[in-house]
Structure 1
Amino acid sequence: MQATDRLTLAAVLSLFLAGFLLAPLTSDLSYLGPAWFSLSTLGVTTALLRRARLGSGVVLTTQLLIAAVLSVGLSLTMPGTGLPWHQHYVGLWQGGVAHMQASGSPMDPNDGVTLIFATIVAGLLIVTDLLASGLGRPAWALAPTATLFLVPALTVGAGTGVMSFLLVALGYLGILVADGLNGSSRWTRGLSRDSAESVGASPVVWRAAALIGVPALVGTLVLSPFAPTLTLPGLGFGNGSGRGGPLQLTDPSLDLRRNLQQPRDQEVITYSTDAPGGLYLRLASLPQFDAKGWSNVEIRLTSGAQLPAAPGLTDVPDKEFTTRVSVRDFRSQYLPLPYAPRSFEAEGDWRYDPTSLTVVNGESRARALSNLTYTVRSINPAPDSDALDGAVAGTPLDDSVTGVIPRDLPENLIRLSERVTKDAATPADKAAAIQAYLRGGRFQYSTEPLPGSGYRALQNFLLEDRRGYCEQFATAMAMMARVAGIPSRVSVGFLPGKKDGDVWRVSIHDMHAWPELYFSNYGWVRFEPTPASVTGSAPPWTLQGSDDPEDSPTAAPTAAPSASAPADTAAPEEAPVEDLTTGEAGTTFPWARTLLGSGVVLLVLLVLAAPATIRVRRRTARLSGDQLGEEQVEAAWAEIRDTVVDHGGTWPTGSPHAIGSQIADRLDGQESAAMGQVATLVERSRYARSLGGGTDTLPTLTRDIRRGLVAPLSRRQRLLATVLPRSLFRRPGR
């Protein structure tokens, strides 16, 4: 393998790894396939171009043309609108940018985003190759992958844990190793150069790479479960207008998952109300259920601030409650409102869905909610428990979505649902039985990430681990209700929070999901399957047929707690935190944090030590005496040259005799004479028919010369030359 091939391959592998750095931004990893295909195509093309010894300008121009063709080709594989190819291509880019501006991370799948990400990764390969091979500065090749590393770090909610750092470190280490392999290859005879082409490679650099890379990889894999993510509030997607097309609605369940797993809680909403207790603040309702989970459907938004009556509610209460809400640093396209809202006053372009009464920003701006204060008037559609007990399941307007049982729903989930509700006589009793089953002692609340996705995750929650957070509890009840013949949907929003005087304070960890079931004459009714340790007691109208003591109306405060029991609403934060620790707070040593910190420090030190390690191993290989004759002479000559370069010197040009004379002038006595002897051996090696012996003392002569070159330098210069040897980063051939 030629020297240029190694650097090109290392650059390609580095970007293969770096492609994963964009994963926290999107829920769709389909961009990786096109990105890897582009990287492979560009890598092969670049290797062939550099083997042909074409100039860097020709290589760069060809790379850009191929990248452009690949990007356009990818766009042609995506569904179009009948437009010419160039308009379709531009439209995908515009749509992708608008989607990123309108979405929180991780984003929903979008063809434009896939095109943008794949093109960016391919473009960064061109930059990396230009730095490593074109400009001969492999050390600078860290910049492109570091750029991808920083993008999620500057995006709300995207993680940049130890694994992300490992991807960057391993990619950069690969480039340094490739450069080290090139430098430690065998040297051949040459008439006009001091650095000959590589025709082989010493295994010592591979051993050095293993010495550095394997501990780093193992350490990171061990420590990554303890790694927190880094979130930088105040920056990220969600600041665009999104005008000129249909609104791209984000998935609130993704925001729920991310916010509940944030290590630091923070206040995001305060509100005051004349309602008798705290209020659930709903962001959105997800009506569609399939193998991927709960999701939005296409809706038609209506302008205005006066909302219609709650769907399905026949006996509308006369009493309206007024609530004034102030949002701090929280971003969403949805306006948090108590159910059922009748009207609202909020600055900006807000529109509502008459079916779900969800209010959405008309400009698709996630930032529109930040630092917004607004007023909402709502009713409390809470039914009487005795009356609801006799209610039948209704047929909502969107029954074709909310009443559907997926055909591929696993049979064991259906059997479990039927078993839980088999003794219940009425639909309300069935719903209460499902709620009591989930709130009982069989299930544990935990925000730890769970294995699997879709139906597999639901099976794992209901039949195996029985651990999860509010999304799993809400999903399970809504699914089981549909099996029982009751239309259902999952709503996402906030728990009431904690009361502080006349104000209710809601934190980011109060984000919550709950099911809503549809009953004739009552419309959508909220249930609460998440355990009491998180939510307090269940709504009183949901307790028909429940014999679970924790669901007794007197066992705990209601879901809208009174001022006399504010402590009960703190449970959502306390339960998951205790699950993540061992022993009582303040009495155990923080092993996870200590191991994580130590692992990160170790990984950084290993990466920083890579150049020095490779340089030492290269010197050892050159002076080991394993080479024969001419190869040993060229290896010693290369070592002297790299020593001069490492310590800030300039390697002269000219014949070996001329170079030897100039270097000897910098040395004293024995070292100067040694330089003359080595120069003579180089001349014989290159120009004479035979070397004539004299190579036995080459390692000793080379060490003497190195000692003489280093002697007059300061301690700081020596340290810098050891930690960052310039010879590793010099342009090949110089």
Structure 2
Amino acid sequence: MSALLTRPEAGSPLSGSPQEPDPAPRGSSEAANVAVGAASALAVLLCSLSVHGVIEGWSWLTPLFFAILVPLAATAAARRFRVPQPLVPVSGMAVLACTLTWLFASSSSFLGFLPGPGTLARADALLSEARTVILTEVTPVQPLPGILFLCCAGIGLVAVLTDTLAATLRMPATAGLGLFAVLMLPAVLKPESLGTGYFLLAGAGYLVLLAAGARREQHGPGTRVPRPWLARATAVSASSLALALLLPAVLPGFSGGAFPEGTRFNFFSGSTGLNPVVSLGSDLRQPQSAGRITYSTSSTDPVYLRSTTLEDFSGSRWGPDIRAAERREGVSTMSPDASTLPGGGRSTPVVTRISSKTYSSPWLLAPYYPLGVTGAEGNWSWDPKTMTVLDDSSDSASTQDYQVLSVSPELTPEELARLPEVDNGSVDAVFTDLPADLPGNIRDAAAEAVKDASTPYAKAMAIQGYLRGPEFSYSLEAPVEGGYDGNGMSVLSEFLERKAGYCVHFAAAMAVMARQEGIPSRMALGYAPGQSTGDTPEGTGPNGEPLREFEVDSSDAHAWPELYFEGAGWVRFEPTPSRGSVPVYAREPLAPADATIRDDEDPRLPGTPAAVPALPQEAPLEPETVLEPGDAGGTAWLGALLGVLAAAAAVLTPWAMRRRRAARRRHAAADGRTGPVWDELADLGIDYGYPGRTSDTPRTYAGRLAQEAGLSPRAEEALNRIRSSFEVEAYAGAGRGGPAPAPVWADLETVREELRRGTGFLGRIHARFLPPSLALRFRHG
């Protein structure tokens, strides 16, 4: 009988179905499923290589190597010694916890690897460090212990999940979900997205995993994969990879890599709060504005909404210093330090009402200098050195409607010009310190800009004029293409060489160059004033002034420098050409037509002066294009529609392929063959969770299927008729060239309906749209 079960077309009694292997001896390599486990580890490692660029350098790869291999070795050992199947992934996660303890908390553990009382505290500290880095740094982030711990823990869990699906549950196709989760991290965070190279490595890892799983399940360990199967698998795999690489070229919003770039393509306009520096470039480069915020203000001048500041320029990456020990609770009344009040005490009170349903950030937006905030939901505290407001609970609501009382300085160029240099000790050293290894071209640029200026104000104006001069241009593309999309001294040095960048680069350049010339400085982040809505809300300012309403969105994300002057406090400047609004006290006098300084205000702001004509030979500016909803809506909706269609195709393709296979078999059965009916029955058993075994005969499989599936007498009779007809054809050659018994396919439908009714909702969805028989059987049925 067994000889008939290996016929070339049918392959086995279940026609090549993924067969449950005969019980392997305890402790055998077959029981351990070593080949599939090794393929799982290789696939996860290949996918993990794409993390390069999210984390700086390659130092993260060594601990990640241990976090993947050691737990998967444990799961292989658990399978080898026949540990109960539910405990296999548990053993992997337990060993992963020990591995992470050894890598990151050995000093607070038993024997250097067993978690102890101090291990959880160490893990909490590492996660807190990772959260701070994520909130405050731009990719690639520094490989600090917290980031490495988060990376190893996350990808280690994915490795255990992938191994469980592929090697323990023997579902290698489904294991690709874990690999996809790893790829999404660099796909979303890296400016150039995933990239073709890393996508191909990930695809190769997945194909190796599929090949190992298929070889183990269909052909048994140690056998060679038939050439037809290998050829078909290669053709489908190559076609899938080619489609994935070519599709971005024809979809709007894709500009590189194998996924839509997170900085360029946005289906949704949900929560888009400004995480300092990290998302500023992404917000500016979105093809369609998102994250609308409205504010009504009594100020006669445009209001900058400030979220936080950067003042420590010593590291390779700059981020806000939370200064938790110095923060003060309660923001309804913020008692100011007289030395930090702008304008030397001469200032105008301003009321600003801010409303947003999408802004999500731990930093609260407020005009500078805030004196009190009312109505904001959250546990807010404020920093007396920078007057920034932070939510200590880190879960502030994205829907906010609050009011800020602030003061606006009354400054004039003449007053600022008379101010002396800042005395030592007037401000904290963090606002004046520069690293000892400051690049030489930054020092040279500061000297070239300042020239013979003698007073702090003259130096500040000279630096602002230098950066707004014709040699520099505003560009959202140059930083990405040049590879310096972010901040840090190395980025700033590159910017001064290329002379093209966006607001982060201009603001950082002025702040650092001002420090080089002895002026304390910091960089503020938030939103430029935006556009007037034309509405006049109810209410008035402190002195009866009417309120005017403005709106800002992701395209208004902005950075600007603030310089400290003795007797005037912190003063805002605007070195970025074609962006924001230059304050009255920082504007150059109207220049003749051959002037070399540009004072080109943001054209969206009402009442700003016209730009001074540029020299004929000057390269044209590349101002930011602000897209109204109608400008890019069609492209975005087309991209969204194509994305939905692509997702639907991905879901429906397995269903369509499985349906086509069944139709071919039904057509073949009409020609007098019962073998295709039996093949379809075998696939139905696979789809609904009743696969065959290597030792099965048609009779033993039919009996076991009826028992395990709990078939009704009617369905069991139909199953036996199919089995009997197949046995007659297989053993006696009956049916070849003659008509098939009429009830055979109808009997198959009876069994199919019985299997469907006996399976839960999720099981039916899985059998229909992700049929395991299709993924694990690659042959003509």
Q: How high is the TM-score relative to the length of structure 1?
A: 0.70
Give 1:424's aligned residue: 453
CA separation of 1:60 and 1:371: change in aligned 2, threshold 3 A = closer
> In structure 2, how many angstroms separate the alpha carbons of the residues matched to 1:575 and 1:78?
54
> 1:555/1:175 Cα in 2 relative to 1: closer, same or farther (>3 Å)?
closer
1:303 equivalent in alignment to 2:329: yes
Give per-residue Cα distances to partners, 1:241-294, cap 9 Å, x unaligned. xxxxxxxxx962224334333443235432222221221121122111135243
**What amino acid is the match of 1:410?**
P
Counterpart mapping for 1:230-629 below 5 A: 230=266, 252-266=276-290, 268-297=292-321, 299=323, 300-304=326-330, 305=333, 306-309=335-338, 311=340, 315-317=344-346, 319-347=348-376, 348-361=378-391, 363-368=392-397, 370-380=399-409, 382-395=410-423, 397-448=426-477, 450=480, 451-452=483-484, 454-464=488-498, 466-499=499-532, 500-501=534-535, 502-532=548-578, 534-536=579-581, 538-543=582-587, 562=606, 564=607, 575-577=623-625, 601=646
For residue 167 of structure 1, report the CA deviation from its aligned partner.
8.7
Residues 563 and 571, structure 2, Cα contact 8 Å, conserved in 1? yes
User: Within 5 Å, which residues of 2 pair with 1:2-21?
Assistant: 4-16=33-45
Q: CA RMSD in A?
A: 5.7
Larger mean CA deviation between 218-227 and 132-141 belongs to 218-227
Q: Deviations over 1:147-206 (max 9, x none)?
A: 6678999x9x99997879989876654433322233564xxxxxxxxxx54333456666
Q: 1:281 to 1:53 in 2, by over 3 A?
A: closer
CA contact (8 A) 2:371 2:404 kept: no
| Structure 1 position 726 matched with structure 2 position 763 | no
SS at match of 2:165: helix
Q: How does 1:35-114 map to 2 (within 5 A)?
A: 35-47=64-76, 50=79, 56=85, 59-60=88-89, 62-77=91-106, 86-95=116-125, 111=145, 114=148
Provide, for residues 190-232 of structure 1, a one-character-per-residue CA deviation record: whole Å limited to 9, x for no partner.
xxxxxx5433345666655553445554665563635243576
- Alpha-carbon deviation of 1:374? 1.7
Q: CA deviation at 1:529?
A: 0.9
Partner SS for 2:436:
coil
Partner of 2:172: 138
Q: Per-residue displacement from partner, 1:361-409 (whole Å, max 9, x unpaired)? A: 3x333515631312313132x5311232343442464452222222222
Deviation at 1:489, TM superposition (A): 1.1
The change in CA–CA distance for 1:138 and 1:653 in structure 2 (over 3 A counts) is closer
Change (3 A) 1:403 1:78: farther
Which SS does the other structure have where 2:277 is aligned? helix
Paired AA for residue 528 in structure 1: E
One-letter code of the match for 1:459?
S
1:206-217 superposed matches below 5 A: 208=232, 210-214=234-238, 216-217=240-241
CA deviation after TM superposition for structure 1 residue 531, in Å: 0.9
Give the 3 Å change call, closer, same or farther, for CA 235–208 of structure 1 in structure 2.
farther
Aligned to 2:160: 126
Contact 1:177 1:205 survives alignment (8 Å)? no
Of the structure 1 ranges 545-554 and 447-456, higher mean CA displacement relative to structure 2 is found in: 545-554
The change in CA–CA distance for 1:149 and 1:104 in structure 2 (over 3 A counts) is: same
Q: Which amino acid aligns with 1:302?
A: R
In 2, distance between residues paired with 1:294 and 1:512? 16
SS in 1 for 2:430: helix
Report how many residues are paired: 647
Distance 1:646 1:461 in 2: 62
CA distance, structure 2, for counterparts of residue 389 and residue 469 of structure 1: 29
Q: Does 1:175 align with 2:212?
A: no
Q: Offset of 1:477 from its aligned partner?
A: 1.6
User: How far does the alpha carbon of each residue in 1:616-661 deviate from its partner, in whole angstroms, 9 at most, with x for none?
Assistant: 9xxxxxxxxxxxxxxxxxxxxx999866523658859878696799
Distance 1:97 1:495, change over 3 A: same
- Matched position secondary structure for 2:345: coil
Q: Distance in 1 between matches of 2:524 and 2:592?
A: 24
Shift of the alpha carbon at 1:480? 2.0
CA, structure 1 residues 327+181, in 2 after alignment: closer, same or farther (shift >3 Å)? same
Q: Which amino acid aligns with 1:128?
A: T
SS at match of 1:535: coil
Q: Matched residues, percent identical?
A: 25
Q: 1:438 to 1:723 in 2, by over 3 A?
A: same
**Alpha-carbon distance between aligned partners in 1 of 2:317 and 2:702, rounded to the nearest angstrom:** 77
How far is 1:60 from its partner?
Answer: 4.3
**Equivalent position amino acid for 1:211 in 2:** A
Deviations 1:667-714 (A, max 9, x none): 999x877622799xxxxxxxxxxxxxxxxxxxxx99x99xx9999979
Structure 1 position 319, deviation (Å):
3.4
Tell me which residue corresponds to 2:255.
225
- Partner letter of residue 542 of structure 1? A
Preserved contact between residue 323 and residue 375 of structure 1 (Cα < 8 Å): yes
1 CA distance for matches of 2:177 and 2:451? 63
Give the secondary structure class of the aligned counterpart of 1:406. coil
Q: 1:353 & 1:598 partners in 2: Cα distance?
A: 44
Q: 1:33 to 1:655 in 2, by over 3 A?
A: closer
Distance of 2:638 and 2:577 partners within structure 1? 29
Distance 1:677 1:656, change over 3 A: farther
Say which SS state the counterpart of residue 529 (structure 1) adopts. coil
Contact 1:490 1:513 (C-alpha < 8 Å) held by counterparts:
yes
Counterpart in the other structure of 1:692: none
Relative distance call for 1:106 and 1:51 in structure 2 (3 A) is farther
* CA distance, structure 2, for counterparts of residue 318 and residue 472 of structure 1: 30
Question: Using the alignment, how far apart are the partners of 2:211 and 2:158 within structure 1?
Answer: 20
Contact in 2 for aligned 1:26/1:105 (Cα 8 Å): no
Q: 1:252 to 1:430 in 2, by over 3 A?
A: same
Contact preservation (8 Å) 2:655, 2:771: no
Whichever residue aligns with residue 586 of structure 2, its letter is T
Matched residues in 1 for 2:594 and 2:118: separation?
A: 59
Q: Verify the 8 A CA contact 2:350 2:407 in the aligned structure 1.
A: yes
1:133 partner letter: A
Matches of 1:7 and 1:721 in 2, distance apart? 26
Question: Structure 1 165/309 Cα, relative in aligned 2: closer, same or farther at 3 Å?
Answer: farther
Deviates more, 1:314-323 or 1:49-58: 49-58
Q: Which runs of 5+ in 1 are unaligned?
A: 186-195, 239-249, 569-573, 617-637, 680-700
Deviation at residue 491 of structure 1 after TM alignment: 0.6
